[in-house]
Structure 1
Amino acid sequence: MAGTDGNLDGKLVVLIGGSGFVGAHLAQALLKRGCRLRILSRHPERAFRLRALANLGQVQFVRGDVTRPASLAAALDGAHGVVNLVGAFAGNLDALQGQGAGRIAALASEAGVQAFVHVSALGSDAASPVDYNRTKAEGEAAVRAAFPGVTIVRPSVLFGEDDAFLNLFAGLIAKLPALPVFGPKAQLQPLNVDDAAEGIANALADPARHGGKAYDIAGPEPIAMLDLNRRIAAAQRRDPLLIALPDVVSGAFAAATEWLPGAPLSSDQWALLKAGNVLHGENGLAALGVTPRPLSLFLDRWMVRYRKHGRFGAKAAAR
């Protein structure tokens, strides 16, 4: 990973929706550059763990709701930069990531913000029948209209040691002797969350260069879902039976169970998975000054805690 630090020292950056997975990693990248942070979320207490990484007064936590613009205006006062990280797979998606994103951009423009980064999603498409992709695309259009100098970043699936992506599969593989794999041939191009954070930070540091542009960003290699599960199992030193489900079975399962609390797959999520999530052009990380790191660089180390004997697995197996 490489990047140009830029001059963000002492500047105030507001992370809207900053208490989540991406927000936590982006906050760490910005704190290292000397930024002052204001983290806005409906549940700012979820980001309190970042206090230990900041100097006294370097980070603030603000409660706000993007569906209520009045709760956002004061949080943008005095900000040099804003990053919109809000996204969801359920609920009123237009209010959250469609026209709601446009309202955030309008408030940022009114506040005189110099650098605005909007985090969308790889595969956003205004013609998509999937609400997630459709509203992501509509959000991009609304943001551009309100803040023409916005930098739009469209990441692929993000992974990290504390994610809800790899760890979902890792937990199931550690517990079950056999595991069904939905969309076994579906291709993903997972991107390390810290590489994504570095790219976003570089965009904030140089709005003259990156403003008004959109970047599709992803990891260095596409990986099929079945192969991904095999890699996770191998890193755990396990050999479960991985059952590749036909698409018709996966679709029927999603339709039949999505109404259940905690259902593993909704119809929209199945549609997104089936379509895959890979680059169809250049990787925008190059323009953002970042070289993406492969999953293989991390997987063995991260999967140690899922092995039968943890970090003592190799010794126990040798006895």
Structure 2
Amino acid sequence: MSKLVTIYGGSGFVGRYVARRMAKLGWRVRVAVRHPNEALFVKPYGSVGQVEPVFCNIRDDESVRSVMQGADAVMNCVGTFDARGKNNFDAVQVEGAGRIARIAAEQGVSALVHVSAIGADKESTSGYARSKALGEEAVLAAFPGAMILRPSVIFGMEDQFFNRFAAMSRMGPVLALVGADKNFQPVYVDNVAEAAEKGLTGTAAPGVYELGGPEVKSFRAFIEEMLTVIRRRKMLVNLPYGLASMVGGISEFVQRITGGLFTAPITRDQVVMLRRDNVVSEDALGLADLGISPVAPEAVMPDYLWRFRPGGQYDAIKESAAGLRTE
């Protein structure tokens, strides 16, 4: 029988790419999510019955254990930017991460890959960054041979980075940024998935890997590059941290009183994180150590951001037609 991998959060941005890769290798893939009916799109990644979404709540031992039964490898992709509620930083990124690792060790799983983030730091003033670091500690305490992946900002077709700012660029002449001069090193989602694949199949050594793309630029420079791709001109304004924090606080309050119908465009915790560069450390293991060639944003952005151009899919046709001679 083919091997089985359980991917917690396997229908999310990173998880779906890992699921697709593992299915192509012939593995059976169990996609553990809170809402299986919303994850049915993963089924065609493999043959009939090869990729199956199943219900799981990572805040519950028995729920985690039941979907891990018989698994040869496990991956945890679950993360949150929610500082409040049942699925908050600690519940998901500390306790949930530790629970998955502990049960994986109990069940004799051969490989565990855990997704953390660059900037994970238990001394950070950011609750997100602290929880990521404490989650790593919990994972390694229970499963010392785990592979920890710390990606920078992840980009790709379903991303919440370039897609988000491209959508915002349609709303007016000004595009506000927070931490515009901080350096970023965006990493392509399938590069992250390839790293995970190597960990799950045992072809890469355990350890902590920081994953970044081939380019280090300021936040502003990447947004300017995105604007070039979508053929829009905007005035980029660097929002002061104090003002951004105020906006975040108001947005969080509105989100709470509307029961989540309004989604905060930025939170106070995200403002804290944007005070730091988001790049791979000089002495860290990375994509090169895994034999992976990183993909640059400009290589793929046109493939999925074209819909934000003024003419959408017809922009190229209009440009071509503009060059025709009329007599």
Conserved? CA contact 1:127–1:134, under 8 Å:
yes
Aligned-residue offset at 1:283: 5.0
Which amino acid is 2:311 matched to?
H
Distance 1:222 1:77 in 2: 42
Query: Of 30, 46, 50, which aligns to 2:42?
Result: 50
Conserved? CA contact 1:24–1:47, under 8 Å:
no
Conserved? CA contact 1:183–1:273, under 8 Å:
yes
What's the counterpart of residue 258 of structure 2?
none
What's the counterpart of residue 205 of structure 2?
210
Q: Please say if 1:313 is aligned against 2:315.
A: yes
Aligned-residue CA RMSD in angstroms? 1.7
Structure 1 residue matching 2:232: 3-state secondary structure:
coil
Query: Of 86, 92, 95, which aligns to 2:91?
Result: 95
Aligned-residue offset at 1:146: 0.8
Distance 1:200 1:64, change over 3 A: same
Distance 1:145 1:98, change over 3 A: same
Distance 1:117 1:158 in 2: 17
What's the counterpart of residue 228 of structure 2?
234
What's the counterpart of residue 273 of structure 2?
272
Q: TM-score, normalised by structure 1?
A: 0.92
Conserved? CA contact 1:93–1:131, under 8 Å:
yes
Aligned-residue offset at 1:221: 1.3
Query: Of 187, 191, 194, which aligns to 2:190?
Result: 194
Q: TM-score, normalised by structure 2?
A: 0.89
Q: Please say if 1:119 is aligned against 2:120.
A: no
Distance 1:106 1:22 in 2: 22
Conserved? CA contact 1:183–1:250, under 8 Å:
no
Q: Cα deviation per residue 1:229-271 (whole Å; 9 max; x = unaligned)? A: 2111111111122223233433343344432222211110011
Query: Of 26, 30, 34, which aligns to 1:38?
Result: 30
What's the counterpart of residue 12 of structure 1?
4
Aligned-residue offset at 1:136: 0.9
What's the counterpart of residue 170 of structure 1?
166
Q: Cα deviation per residue 1:72-112 (whole Å; 9 max; x = unaligned)? A: 11211111000011111113321211132111111111111
Gaps of at least 5 residues in structure 1 are 1-8
Distance 1:161 1:176 in 2: 24
What's the counterpart of residue 15 of structure 2?
23
Identity across matched positions, percent: 38
Aligned-residue offset at 1:316: 2.2
Structure 1 residue matching 2:290: 3-state secondary structure:
coil
Structure 1 residue matching 2:148: 3-state secondary structure:
strand
Query: Of 288, 293, 296, which aligns to 2:295?
Result: 293
Which amino acid is 2:172 matched to?
L
Deviates more, 1:265-274 or 1:299-308: 299-308
Conserved? CA contact 2:230–2:306, under 8 Å:
yes
Aligned-residue offset at 1:142: 1.0
Which amino acid is 2:91 matched to?
A
Structure 2 residue matching 1:258: 3-state secondary structure:
helix
Query: Of 243, 254, 265, which aligns to 2:237?
Result: 243
Distance 1:57 1:300 in 2: 34
Distance 2:312 2:34 in 1: 36
Structure 2 residue matching 1:316: 3-state secondary structure:
helix
Structure 2 residue matching 1:117: 3-state secondary structure:
strand
Conserved? CA contact 1:117–1:150, under 8 Å:
yes
Which amino acid is 2:108 matched to?
G
Q: Cα deviation per residue 1:281-311 (whole Å; 9 max; x = unaligned)? A: 2451122221111101112232211112223
Which amino acid is 1:289 matched to?
G
Structure 2 residue matching 1:287: 3-state secondary structure:
helix
Distance 1:222 1:251 in 2: 26
Conserved? CA contact 1:105–1:143, under 8 Å:
yes
Aligned-residue offset at 1:53: 2.1
Distance 2:184 2:252 in 1: 22
What's the counterpart of residue 110 of structure 1?
106
Structure 1 residue matching 2:29: 3-state secondary structure:
strand
Structure 2 residue matching 1:265: 3-state secondary structure:
coil
Q: Cα deviation per residue 1:30-53 (whole Å; 9 max; x = unaligned)? A: 111111100111112232111122
Distance 2:17 2:311 in 1: 29
Which amino acid is 1:204 matched to?
L
Distance 2:80 2:274 in 1: 16
Q: Cα deviation per residue 1:108-136 (whole Å; 9 max; x = unaligned)? A: 11111001111111111111121111111
Query: Of 305, 314, 319, which aligns to 1:303?
Result: 305
